[in-house]
Homo-oligomer: A and B are copies of this chain.
Protein backbone atom coordinates (compact mmCIF):
# COMPACT_ATOMS: atom_id res chain seq x y z
CA UNK A 1 0.00 0.00 0.00
CA UNK A 2 1.13 3.55 -0.60
CA UNK A 3 0.90 4.16 3.15
CA UNK A 4 3.54 1.50 3.88
CA UNK A 5 6.43 2.99 1.90
CA UNK A 6 8.40 4.02 4.98
CA UNK A 7 8.62 0.41 6.10
CA UNK A 8 10.18 -0.66 2.80
CA UNK A 9 12.88 1.96 2.22
CA UNK A 10 15.46 0.64 -0.22
CA UNK A 11 13.29 -2.29 -1.24
CA UNK A 12 11.61 -3.12 -4.51
CA UNK A 13 7.84 -2.99 -3.93
CA UNK A 14 4.65 -3.62 -5.92
CA UNK A 15 1.92 -1.01 -5.71
CA UNK A 16 -1.44 -0.83 -7.44
CA UNK A 17 -3.99 1.92 -7.81
CA UNK A 18 -5.16 4.83 -9.90
CA UNK A 19 -3.14 7.51 -11.68
CA UNK A 20 -4.11 10.49 -9.56
CA UNK A 21 -2.08 13.13 -11.40
CA UNK A 22 1.09 13.57 -13.42
CA UNK A 23 3.57 16.41 -13.80
CA UNK A 24 6.10 16.31 -16.60
CA UNK A 25 9.19 18.46 -16.01
CA UNK A 26 12.14 18.89 -18.30
CA UNK A 27 14.20 16.02 -16.89
CA UNK A 28 11.78 13.97 -14.87
CA UNK A 29 8.11 13.06 -14.53
CA UNK A 30 6.15 12.71 -11.31
CA UNK A 31 3.23 10.32 -11.23
CA UNK A 32 0.96 10.39 -8.18
CA UNK A 33 -0.46 6.94 -7.54
CA UNK A 34 -3.62 6.78 -5.42
CA UNK A 35 -4.73 3.63 -3.66
CA UNK A 36 -7.15 2.99 -0.80
CA UNK A 37 -4.58 4.01 1.79
CA UNK A 38 -3.24 7.25 0.30
CA UNK A 39 -1.04 8.65 -2.42
CA UNK A 40 2.54 7.82 -3.41
CA UNK A 41 4.85 9.86 -5.59
CA UNK A 42 6.46 7.87 -8.39
CA UNK A 43 9.48 9.39 -10.09
CA UNK A 44 10.08 8.48 -13.74
CA UNK A 45 13.44 9.44 -15.16
CA UNK A 46 13.95 7.12 -18.11
CA UNK A 47 12.89 8.76 -21.37
CA UNK A 48 10.91 5.91 -22.97
CA UNK A 49 9.03 5.32 -19.73
CA UNK A 50 8.26 9.02 -19.40
CA UNK A 51 6.81 9.02 -22.90
CA UNK A 52 4.75 5.93 -22.12
CA UNK A 53 3.49 7.30 -18.80
CA UNK A 54 2.54 10.56 -20.49
CA UNK A 55 -0.09 8.66 -22.48
CA UNK A 56 -1.88 7.53 -19.31
CA UNK A 57 -4.88 9.68 -18.49
CA UNK A 58 -5.92 10.36 -14.91
CA UNK A 59 -7.79 7.41 -13.33
CA UNK A 60 -5.86 4.85 -15.36
CA UNK A 61 -5.60 1.71 -13.25
CA UNK A 62 -2.01 0.56 -12.95
CA UNK A 63 0.39 -1.73 -11.18
CA UNK A 64 3.76 -0.20 -10.43
CA UNK A 65 6.88 -1.98 -9.35
CA UNK A 66 9.62 0.30 -8.10
CA UNK A 67 12.25 1.06 -5.50
CA UNK A 68 11.37 2.99 -2.34
CA UNK A 69 13.67 5.96 -1.75
CA UNK A 70 13.66 8.41 1.12
CA UNK A 71 13.05 11.91 -0.16
CA UNK A 72 12.33 14.88 2.10
CA UNK A 73 10.38 16.64 -0.68
CA UNK A 74 8.04 13.72 -1.33
CA UNK A 75 4.67 13.59 0.39
CA UNK A 76 5.18 11.27 3.35
CA UNK A 77 8.97 11.45 3.02
CA UNK A 78 9.35 8.55 0.58
CA UNK A 79 8.90 8.09 -3.11
CA UNK A 80 9.22 5.35 -5.72
CA UNK A 81 12.03 5.32 -8.25
CA UNK A 82 12.77 3.34 -11.37
CA UNK A 83 9.17 2.20 -11.87
CA UNK A 84 7.86 -0.52 -14.18
CA UNK A 85 4.27 0.35 -14.98
CA UNK A 86 1.60 -2.14 -16.08
CA UNK A 87 -1.75 -0.78 -17.21
CA UNK A 88 -4.79 -2.75 -16.01
CA UNK A 89 -7.57 -0.50 -17.25
CA UNK A 90 -7.90 2.79 -19.07
CA UNK A 91 -10.77 5.21 -18.43
CA UNK A 92 -13.05 5.82 -21.37
CA UNK A 93 -13.00 9.57 -20.80
CA UNK A 94 -11.86 12.21 -18.33
CA UNK A 95 -13.79 12.26 -15.02
CA UNK A 96 -16.28 15.08 -14.47
CA UNK A 97 -14.11 16.41 -11.61
CA UNK A 98 -10.42 17.00 -11.13
CA UNK A 99 -9.81 14.51 -8.34
CA UNK A 100 -6.25 15.81 -7.91
CA UNK A 101 -7.47 19.10 -6.36
CA UNK A 102 -7.07 19.23 -2.56
CA UNK A 103 -10.78 19.95 -2.32
CA UNK A 104 -13.24 18.69 -4.87
CA UNK A 105 -14.53 21.66 -6.80
CA UNK A 106 -18.15 20.63 -7.36
CA UNK A 107 -21.64 21.23 -6.04
CA UNK A 108 -23.20 18.56 -3.86
CA UNK A 109 -25.86 17.43 -6.39
CA UNK A 110 -23.15 16.86 -8.96
CA UNK A 111 -21.03 14.98 -6.43
CA UNK A 112 -23.97 12.74 -5.58
CA UNK A 113 -24.90 12.18 -9.23
CA UNK A 114 -21.37 11.01 -9.95
CA UNK A 115 -20.75 9.22 -6.66
CA UNK A 116 -18.83 6.34 -8.26
CA UNK A 117 -16.03 8.71 -9.20
CA UNK A 118 -16.51 11.60 -6.72
CA UNK A 119 -16.09 9.29 -3.73
CA UNK A 120 -12.60 8.46 -4.98
CA UNK A 121 -11.49 11.88 -3.78
CA UNK A 122 -9.39 11.33 -0.63
CA UNK A 123 -11.29 13.92 1.40
CA UNK A 124 -14.70 12.60 0.43
CA UNK A 125 -13.91 8.98 1.12
CA UNK A 126 -12.29 9.86 4.47
CA UNK A 127 -15.73 10.48 5.99
CA UNK A 128 -16.68 6.89 5.21
CA UNK A 129 -13.60 5.48 6.90
CA UNK A 130 -14.77 7.36 9.99
CA UNK A 131 -18.27 5.98 9.55
CA UNK A 132 -16.93 2.40 9.29
CA UNK A 133 -14.77 2.85 12.38
CA UNK A 134 -17.75 4.27 14.27
CA UNK A 135 -19.79 1.19 13.46
CA UNK A 136 -16.96 -1.07 14.59
CA UNK A 137 -16.65 0.87 17.85
CA UNK A 138 -20.38 0.69 18.49
CA UNK A 139 -20.34 -3.08 18.11
CA UNK A 140 -17.12 -3.83 19.99
CA UNK A 141 -18.17 -1.72 22.98
CA UNK A 142 -21.51 -3.49 23.25
CA UNK A 143 -19.97 -6.92 22.60
CA UNK A 144 -17.70 -6.33 25.58
CA UNK A 145 -20.74 -5.43 27.70
CA UNK A 146 -22.53 -8.70 26.99
CA UNK A 147 -24.86 -7.56 24.22
CA UNK A 148 -25.94 -9.92 21.43
CA UNK A 149 -26.25 -8.71 17.86
CA UNK A 150 -29.64 -9.33 16.25
CA UNK A 151 -31.15 -9.04 12.77
CA UNK A 152 -34.80 -8.04 12.61
CA UNK A 153 -37.08 -7.69 9.59
CA UNK A 154 -37.28 -4.52 7.56
CA UNK A 155 -40.56 -5.54 5.94
CA UNK A 156 -43.29 -5.30 8.56
CA UNK A 157 -47.02 -5.90 8.57
CA UNK A 158 -48.06 -2.88 10.60
CA UNK A 159 -46.93 0.74 10.43
CA UNK A 160 -46.10 0.55 14.06
CA UNK A 161 -44.45 3.50 15.68
CA UNK A 162 -46.39 6.37 14.28
CA UNK A 163 -48.00 5.53 10.98
CA UNK A 164 -46.70 8.76 9.49
CA UNK A 165 -43.89 8.87 6.95
CA UNK A 166 -43.98 5.16 6.27
CA UNK A 167 -43.22 3.53 2.91
CA UNK A 168 -45.84 1.02 1.80
CA UNK A 169 -45.21 -1.89 -0.51
CA UNK A 170 -47.09 -4.71 -2.14
CA UNK A 171 -46.18 -7.93 -0.37
CA UNK A 172 -47.52 -10.91 -2.31
CA UNK A 173 -50.82 -9.14 -2.73
CA UNK A 174 -50.94 -7.78 0.81
CA UNK A 175 -50.05 -4.36 2.17
CA UNK A 176 -46.73 -4.18 4.00
CA UNK A 177 -44.42 -1.42 5.18
CA UNK A 178 -40.74 -0.66 5.53
CA UNK A 179 -39.66 -0.59 9.16
CA UNK A 180 -39.08 2.90 10.58
CA UNK A 181 -36.96 1.41 13.35
CA UNK A 182 -36.23 -1.97 14.96
CA UNK A 183 -37.75 -0.61 18.19
CA UNK A 184 -40.46 -3.19 18.82
CA UNK A 185 -38.26 -6.12 17.80
CA UNK A 186 -35.33 -5.11 19.94
CA UNK A 187 -37.65 -4.84 22.93
CA UNK A 188 -39.00 -8.33 22.25
CA UNK A 189 -35.45 -9.64 22.09
CA UNK A 190 -34.63 -8.25 25.54
CA UNK A 191 -36.86 -11.09 26.70
CA UNK A 192 -34.47 -13.53 25.03
CA UNK A 193 -30.95 -12.09 25.29
CA UNK A 194 -31.41 -9.32 27.92
CA UNK A 195 -29.06 -7.02 26.00
CA UNK A 196 -29.21 -6.69 22.23
CA UNK A 197 -28.09 -4.39 19.45
CA UNK A 198 -28.69 -4.03 15.76
CA UNK A 199 -27.06 -1.96 13.05
CA UNK A 200 -29.08 -1.61 9.89
CA UNK A 201 -31.17 0.50 7.56
CA UNK A 202 -34.38 2.21 8.61
CA UNK A 203 -36.81 3.98 6.33
CA UNK A 204 -38.76 7.22 6.64
CA UNK A 205 -40.91 8.60 3.85
CA UNK A 206 -39.81 12.09 4.88
CA UNK A 207 -41.38 14.52 2.43
CA UNK A 208 -39.18 17.47 3.46
CA UNK A 209 -35.97 18.15 1.62
CA UNK A 210 -33.70 19.27 4.47
CA UNK A 211 -30.05 18.73 5.35
CA UNK A 212 -31.14 16.78 8.44
CA UNK A 213 -33.39 14.14 6.90
CA UNK A 214 -32.92 11.11 4.68
CA UNK A 215 -35.50 8.62 3.44
CA UNK A 216 -33.16 5.77 4.36
CA UNK A 217 -30.47 5.86 6.99
CA UNK A 218 -28.45 3.57 9.23
CA UNK A 219 -29.68 3.23 12.78
CA UNK A 220 -27.45 1.95 15.58
CA UNK A 221 -29.89 0.48 18.06
CA UNK A 222 -29.33 -0.97 21.51
CA UNK A 223 -31.75 -2.20 24.17
CA UNK A 224 -31.06 -3.65 27.61
CA UNK A 225 -33.04 -5.23 30.39
CA UNK A 226 -32.83 -5.17 34.17
CA UNK A 227 -32.25 -1.44 34.40
CA UNK A 228 -33.33 0.77 37.26
CA UNK A 229 -34.38 3.56 34.93
CA UNK A 230 -33.17 5.62 31.96
CA UNK A 231 -29.99 6.59 33.80
CA UNK A 232 -28.66 3.07 33.31
CA UNK A 233 -29.29 3.48 29.59
CA UNK A 234 -27.41 6.79 29.59
CA UNK A 235 -24.41 5.11 31.20
CA UNK A 236 -24.25 2.47 28.47
CA UNK A 237 -24.70 5.13 25.79
CA UNK A 238 -21.80 7.14 27.19
CA UNK A 239 -19.53 4.07 27.00
CA UNK A 240 -20.67 3.41 23.45
CA UNK A 241 -19.88 6.95 22.30
CA UNK A 242 -16.48 6.81 23.99
CA UNK A 243 -15.85 3.46 22.28
CA UNK A 244 -16.83 4.89 18.91
CA UNK A 245 -14.45 7.83 19.30
CA UNK A 246 -11.65 5.55 20.46
CA UNK A 247 -12.13 3.20 17.52
CA UNK A 248 -12.10 6.13 15.10
CA UNK A 249 -8.78 7.27 16.53
CA UNK A 250 -7.40 3.72 16.29
CA UNK A 251 -8.71 2.65 12.90
CA UNK A 252 -9.28 5.86 10.98
CA UNK A 253 -6.37 8.01 12.08
CA UNK A 254 -5.43 8.72 8.47
CA UNK A 255 -8.95 9.91 7.69
CA UNK A 256 -8.97 12.14 10.77
CA UNK A 257 -5.66 13.66 9.66
CA UNK A 258 -6.89 13.98 6.07
CA UNK A 259 -9.90 15.98 7.22
CA UNK A 260 -8.00 17.96 9.84
CA UNK A 261 -10.72 17.40 12.42
CA UNK A 262 -10.55 17.12 16.16
CA UNK A 263 -12.43 14.19 17.62
CA UNK A 264 -15.00 14.93 20.33
CA UNK A 265 -14.04 14.26 23.93
CA UNK A 266 -16.69 12.20 25.70
CA UNK A 267 -16.68 13.21 29.38
CA UNK A 268 -16.59 10.47 32.05
CA UNK A 269 -20.02 11.68 33.06
CA UNK A 270 -22.08 13.48 30.46
CA UNK A 271 -23.91 16.43 32.08
CA UNK A 272 -27.68 16.19 32.37
CA UNK A 273 -30.48 18.70 32.53
CA UNK A 274 -34.19 18.09 32.96
CA UNK A 275 -36.35 19.22 30.07
CA UNK A 276 -38.30 21.56 32.35
CA UNK A 277 -35.17 23.11 33.82
CA UNK A 278 -33.79 23.53 30.31
CA UNK A 279 -36.91 25.45 29.34
CA UNK A 280 -36.56 27.68 32.39
CA UNK A 281 -32.94 28.45 31.50
CA UNK A 282 -33.85 29.20 27.90
CA UNK A 283 -36.65 31.53 29.02
CA UNK A 284 -34.33 33.33 31.41
CA UNK A 285 -31.62 33.69 28.78
CA UNK A 286 -33.68 34.55 25.71
CA UNK A 287 -36.86 36.08 27.10
CA UNK A 288 -38.87 33.72 24.89
CA UNK A 289 -41.84 31.91 26.38
CA UNK A 290 -41.03 28.20 26.03
CA UNK A 291 -42.24 26.59 29.28
CA UNK A 292 -45.20 24.45 28.39
CA UNK A 293 -44.01 23.73 24.86
CA UNK A 294 -43.82 19.96 24.34
CA UNK A 295 -40.47 19.98 22.53
CA UNK A 296 -37.30 22.00 21.99
CA UNK A 297 -36.83 24.04 18.83
CA UNK A 298 -33.52 23.58 16.96
CA UNK A 299 -32.47 27.08 18.07
CA UNK A 300 -33.02 26.11 21.69
CA UNK A 301 -31.05 22.91 21.24
CA UNK A 302 -28.20 25.04 19.90
CA UNK A 303 -28.50 27.33 22.90
CA UNK A 304 -28.27 24.29 25.19
CA UNK A 305 -25.21 23.10 23.29
CA UNK A 306 -23.49 26.38 24.06
CA UNK A 307 -24.67 26.19 27.65
CA UNK A 308 -23.20 22.67 28.05
CA UNK A 309 -19.88 23.82 26.64
CA UNK A 310 -19.73 26.98 28.77
CA UNK A 311 -21.07 25.46 31.97
CA UNK A 312 -19.65 21.94 31.83
CA UNK A 313 -16.96 22.05 29.14
CA UNK A 314 -18.87 19.28 27.35
CA UNK A 315 -19.77 18.72 23.69
CA UNK A 316 -22.53 16.45 24.98
CA UNK A 317 -25.64 17.11 27.07
CA UNK A 318 -28.44 14.81 28.14
CA UNK A 319 -31.85 16.48 28.16
CA UNK A 320 -34.06 14.25 30.27
CA UNK A 321 -37.78 14.06 30.97
CA UNK A 322 -39.37 15.13 27.68
CA UNK A 323 -43.13 15.49 28.12
CA UNK A 324 -45.05 12.25 27.68
CA UNK A 325 -47.28 13.90 25.08
CA UNK A 326 -44.44 13.97 22.54
CA UNK A 327 -43.02 10.51 23.18
CA UNK A 328 -44.12 7.20 21.64
CA UNK A 329 -46.60 4.87 23.34
CA UNK A 330 -43.97 2.57 24.89
CA UNK A 331 -42.35 5.44 26.83
CA UNK A 332 -42.08 5.06 30.60
CA UNK A 333 -43.32 8.02 32.65
CA UNK A 334 -41.17 9.73 35.26
CA UNK A 335 -42.58 8.16 38.45
CA UNK A 336 -42.60 11.35 40.56
CA UNK A 337 -43.77 13.69 37.76
CA UNK A 338 -45.86 11.58 35.40
CA UNK A 339 -46.41 14.38 32.87
CA UNK A 340 -42.71 13.96 32.10
CA UNK A 341 -40.96 10.80 30.87
CA UNK A 342 -37.97 8.66 31.74
CA UNK A 343 -36.61 9.42 28.31
CA UNK A 344 -33.84 11.59 26.99
CA UNK A 345 -32.28 13.17 23.97
CA UNK A 346 -28.54 13.46 23.74
CA UNK A 347 -27.43 16.74 22.23
CA UNK A 348 -24.03 16.77 20.53
CA UNK A 349 -22.72 20.25 19.84
CA UNK A 350 -26.29 21.53 20.09
CA UNK A 351 -27.93 19.04 17.75
CA UNK A 352 -30.04 16.04 18.71
CA UNK A 353 -27.95 12.94 18.05
CA UNK A 354 -29.54 10.15 20.07
CA UNK A 355 -32.98 9.46 21.48
CA UNK A 356 -33.49 6.95 24.23
CA UNK A 357 -35.14 6.10 27.47
CA UNK A 358 -36.90 3.61 29.64
CA UNK A 359 -39.83 1.67 28.15
CA UNK A 360 -42.99 0.32 29.72
CA UNK A 361 -42.52 -3.32 30.72
CA UNK A 362 -45.82 -4.36 32.35
CA UNK A 363 -48.41 -5.95 30.08
CA UNK A 364 -51.25 -4.00 31.70
CA UNK A 365 -49.49 -0.73 30.99
CA UNK A 366 -49.45 -1.57 27.29
CA UNK A 367 -53.13 -2.46 27.38
CA UNK A 368 -53.77 0.97 28.91
CA UNK A 369 -51.93 2.94 26.24
CA UNK A 370 -52.96 0.97 23.15
CA UNK A 371 -56.42 0.99 21.63
CA UNK A 372 -57.96 -2.23 20.38
CA UNK A 373 -56.84 -1.98 16.71
CA UNK A 374 -53.25 -1.35 17.81
CA UNK A 375 -53.41 -4.30 20.20
CA UNK A 376 -54.42 -6.53 17.32
CA UNK A 377 -51.77 -5.15 14.98
CA UNK A 378 -49.09 -5.52 17.66
CA UNK A 379 -50.17 -8.90 19.02
CA UNK A 380 -46.78 -10.52 18.45
CA UNK A 381 -45.03 -7.67 20.24
CA UNK A 382 -47.43 -7.66 23.18
CA UNK A 383 -46.71 -11.35 23.78
CA UNK A 384 -43.30 -10.37 25.09
CA UNK A 385 -44.96 -8.42 27.90
CA UNK A 386 -47.77 -10.89 28.46
CA UNK A 387 -45.17 -13.52 29.34
CA UNK A 388 -42.95 -11.41 31.58
CA UNK A 389 -40.50 -8.66 30.68
CA UNK A 390 -37.96 -6.90 32.90
CA UNK A 391 -37.61 -3.13 33.22
CA UNK A 392 -35.68 -2.13 30.11
CA UNK A 393 -34.67 0.72 27.88
CA UNK A 394 -32.44 1.62 25.02
CA UNK A 395 -31.36 4.14 22.46
CA UNK A 396 -30.82 4.71 18.75
CA UNK A 397 -27.97 6.63 17.16
CA UNK A 398 -28.31 7.85 13.60
CA UNK A 399 -25.02 6.86 11.99
CA UNK A 400 -25.10 9.63 9.39
CA UNK A 401 -25.94 12.29 11.99
CA UNK A 402 -23.07 11.09 14.13
CA UNK A 403 -20.60 11.04 11.24
CA UNK A 404 -21.73 14.45 9.97
CA UNK A 405 -21.14 16.00 13.39
CA UNK A 406 -17.78 14.29 13.86
CA UNK A 407 -16.63 15.30 10.38
CA UNK A 408 -18.17 18.75 10.71
CA UNK A 409 -20.40 18.90 7.64
CA UNK A 410 -23.93 20.29 7.67
CA UNK A 411 -25.66 17.93 5.23
CA UNK A 412 -26.25 14.24 5.95
CA UNK A 413 -25.88 13.57 2.22
CA UNK A 414 -22.17 14.40 2.56
CA UNK A 415 -21.67 11.35 4.76
CA UNK A 416 -23.99 8.94 2.90
CA UNK A 417 -22.56 6.94 0.00
CA UNK A 418 -25.77 6.88 -2.03
CA UNK A 419 -28.35 9.04 -0.25
CA UNK A 420 -32.10 8.64 -0.66
CA UNK A 421 -34.44 11.58 -0.28
CA UNK A 422 -37.67 12.91 -1.71
CA UNK A 423 -35.87 13.85 -4.93
CA UNK A 424 -33.07 11.31 -5.15
CA UNK A 425 -33.32 7.63 -5.94
CA UNK A 426 -30.07 7.07 -7.83
CA UNK A 427 -27.34 6.13 -8.27
* Residue of A151, A416, A422 with most chain B CB atoms under a 10 A cut-off: A151
A83 to chain B, nearest CB (A): 17
* A384 near B116: Cβ-Cβ < 8 Å: yes
Are A387 and B91 CB-contacts (below 8 A) given A169-B168, A200-B200, A420-B155? yes
A152 to B391, CA, bound (A): 35
Nearest CB to that of A400 among chain B residues?
Answer: B151
A313 to chain B, nearest CB (A): 33
A373-389 residues with Cβ-Cβ distance < 8 A to B are: 379-381, 383-389
* A386 near B168: Cβ-Cβ < 8 Å: no
Which stretch of A42-50, A190-198, A235-243, A290-298 is in the interface?
Answer: A190-198
* B380 near A115: Cβ-Cβ < 8 Å: yes
* A205 contact from B149, B172, B195, B361, Cβ within 8 A: B172
Residues of B within 8 A of A174 (CB): 425
Chain A, residues 411-427, CB within 8 Å of chain B (1/0): the string is 00000111110110111
Chain A, residues 322-348, CB within 8 Å of chain B (1/0): the string is 000000000000000000000000000
Residues of B within 8 A of A89 (CB): 361-362, 388-391
A121-155 residues with Cβ-Cβ distance < 8 A to B are: 125, 128-129, 131-132, 135-136, 139, 143, 146, 148-155
* A386 near B93: Cβ-Cβ < 8 Å: yes
A262 to B120, CA, bound (A): 44
* A114 near B426: Cβ-Cβ < 8 Å: no
A27-48 residues with Cβ-Cβ distance < 8 A to B are: 35-36
Chain A, residues 167-210, CB within 8 Å of chain B (1/0): the string is 11111101010100000010011011111000011010101000
Nearest CB to that of A91 among chain B residues?
Answer: B388
A303 to chain B, nearest CB (A): 33
* A interface, over-half SS: mixed
Q: How many residues of A contact B (CB 8 A)?
A: 98
Residue A282, interface by CB 8 Å: no
* A167 contact from B17, B169, B194, B218, Cβ within 8 A: B169
Residue A156, interface by CB 8 Å: yes
* B386 near A171: Cβ-Cβ < 8 Å: no
Chain A, residues 295-309, CB within 8 Å of chain B (1/0): the string is 000000000000000
Residue A92, interface by CB 8 Å: yes
* A154 near B36: Cβ-Cβ < 8 Å: no
Residue A108, interface by CB 8 Å: no
* A390 near B203: Cβ-Cβ < 8 Å: no
* A427 near B388: Cβ-Cβ < 8 Å: no
Residue A234, interface by CB 8 Å: no
Residue A370, interface by CB 8 Å: no
* A156 near B425: Cβ-Cβ < 8 Å: yes
Residues of B within 8 A of A156 (CB): 425-426
Residue A314, interface by CB 8 Å: no
* A117 near B383: Cβ-Cβ < 8 Å: yes
A201 to B174, CA, bound (A): 20
A207 to B157, CA, bound (A): 17
* B193 near A150: Cβ-Cβ < 8 Å: no
A90 to B149, CA, bound (A): 27
Residue A263, interface by CB 8 Å: no
Residues of B within 8 A of A188 (CB): 115-116, 427
Residue A399, interface by CB 8 Å: yes
Nearest CB to that of A150 among chain B residues?
Answer: B417
* A185 contact from B169, B362, B417, Cβ within 8 A: B417
Residue A98, interface by CB 8 Å: no
* B167 near A171: Cβ-Cβ < 8 Å: yes
Residue A216, interface by CB 8 Å: yes
A423 to B172, CA, bound (A): 8
A215 to chain B, nearest CB (A): 7
Are A152 and B417 CB-contacts (below 8 A) given A169-B167, A362-B89? yes
**6 A-B pairs whose Cβ atoms sit less than 8 Å apart in the complex:** A59-B387, A88-B391, A92-B387, A132-B150, A151-B218, A156-B426
Which 7 A-B pairs rank lowest in CB-CB distance, beginning with the nearest?
A380-B427, A169-B169, A116-B384, A59-B388, A36-B194, A157-B425, A91-B388
